[in-house]
Each structure stands twice: as C-alpha cells, then as structure tokens.
C-alpha cells in the first residue's frame, strides 16, 4: 500500500469508516433512516473525522502517523464545502489511515481505533 497516494487511501477509508459507523449505529438500536443519517454525520462529517483523529492521535504508531500525514498533505482538487481547509485536510489524513489499515488487513488494529472513537464520540 506504500505505492498508493494519500488521496487514494482516503477515498477507500471514507467508505470503510462510513460502513463502520452505520454498523455501529444499527448495533446500538438506531433503525430509522433519518435518525441513522443524523447520527452518522456526527462521525462522518469533516469535523467528525477531525475529532476522531484528535481522539486517536496519542495512540498512533509512527507508521500510522506517517500514513495520516500522507493523506493530510496530499494535493486535492476538491475544495471543502462545509469545513475549513485545515479541518478538511485533517479529515483526509484520518480517512487515509482508515483506508491503509483496511488494505493492510489490520482488522484488529482498525477495530481498536474505531472502538476508541465510538466510546468517546457523543451521538
């Protein structure tokens, strides 16, 4: 996965994180689609992903930090709609980390980090 750009890792990581959030919310008994959407945004918006990264930062390995930075520092042709550039970049770094762990089949580590996020994020 070292050959993939941060943006490519983030592209996949966004989907992996979205699915994990949806599974988590459903496992907590949220079943109405409108409620699922509203609660998922807390996690999956750029601000939510930036906050998730902030929760994880002190727990990341050097390799994981490097992957985050690859995503954060990647050039993007997209402009953030509802977030500052700094928030968007941090969110992209977070998504890259999630994508990397998924592609490397680091499921145990991915679940460990997701658990930290889910335990500390207000729904």
| Residues with catalytic roles | 14
Q: Are 109 and 20 in contact (CB under 8 A)?
A: no
Q: How far apart are CA 41 and CA 48, in angstroms?
A: 7
Map tokens 């089949």 to a residue: 105
40-45's contacts with Cβ under 8 Å and 24+ in sequence apart are 42/121, 42/122, 42/123, 43/17, 43/117, 43/121, 44/14, 44/17, 44/18, 45/82, 45/83
Q: Which of 72, 61, 42 is nearest to 106 (CA)?
A: 61
């Amino acid at each position: 996965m070292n050959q993939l750009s941060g943006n490519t890792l983030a592209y996949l990581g966004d989907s992996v994180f979205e699915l994990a959030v949806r599974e988590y919310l459903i496992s907590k008994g949220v079943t109405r689609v409108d409620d699922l959407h509203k609660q998922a945004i807390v996690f999956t918006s750029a601000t939510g992903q930036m906050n998730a990264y902030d929760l994880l930062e002190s727990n990341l390995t050097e390799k994981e930090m490097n992957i985050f930075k690859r995503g954060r520092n990647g050039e993007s042709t997209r402009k953030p709609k509802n977030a500052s550039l700094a928030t968007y970049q941090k969110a992209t770094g977070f998504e890259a980390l999630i994508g990397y762990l998924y592609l490397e089949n680091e499921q145990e580590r991915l679940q460990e980090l997701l658990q930290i996020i889910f335990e500390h994020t207000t729904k």
